[in-house]
Amino acid sequence: MVCERFQTEGMRLLDGELGAEEKTVYEEHVKTCDDCKQELKEIGRLVELTNDLRLRTPDEEFWTRYWDSLLHRMERGTGFVLMITGIVAVLLFAIYKAVTSPEFLTFKGLSIAVVLLGLVVIFLSVVRERYHENKSDPYKGVKQ
Ligand SMILES: [Zn+2]
């Protein structure tokens, strides 16, 4: 039969729930109670082990998430490059077509040219923004 005080105060001590005064009183009791001394020693070891395990989990989570996000960033990076290449090709083709078209110097042709120019400017601005974002925060999405 284990001393009953261990079931209450002993467990709370290990959980760090005892107040300073309660702790002193119970520690005095442990000095004279073999049951509590023994249980504290064994459970104390168990608690330490549990804490060790608990400490390791965030690490594994961190690395899992790190590789996940790295993969996502690479996928996104590849997609982004392909998208840019495609858009640039389409724009170059459109500009070439517009400039070489006999209708280029008409009102319609010039309007389309202006719209395309606007798209190019917006696009370049977005690309530049994304580029700086990635550069200034290489571990973006990993920390949280
Ligand atoms: Zn006891």
**SS3 readout for 77-137:** HHHHHHHHHHHHHHHHHHHHHHHHCCCCCCHHHHHHHHHHHHHHHHHHHHHHHHHHHHHHC
In the predicted structure, residue 41 carries a pLDDT above the cut 50: yes
The residue range of the domain holding 66 is 59-136
pLDDT given for residue 17 in this prediction = 87
Cα-to-centroid distance, 28 and ligand 1 (Å): 10
On whether residue 51 sits in a domain, the answer given is: no
How many domains, in total, are found in the chain? Answer: 1
CB 33 within 8 A of CB 3: yes
Q: For the segment 1-17, what is each residue's pLDDT rounded down to a tens digit? A: 678 888 888 888 888 88
Cα-to-centroid distance, 15 and ligand 1 (Å): 17
On whether residue 36 sits in a domain, the answer given is: no
Cα-to-centroid distance, 54 and ligand 1 (Å): 29
Cα-to-centroid distance, 45 and ligand 1 (Å): 18
CB 64 within 8 A of CB 57: no
Cα-to-centroid distance, 19 and ligand 1 (Å): 18
On whether residue 117 sits in a domain, the answer given is: yes
On whether residue 49 sits in a domain, the answer given is: no
Cα-to-centroid distance, 51 and ligand 1 (Å): 24
Q: Could you tell me the pTM of the whole model?
A: 0.34
The residue with tokens 């960033």 is 73
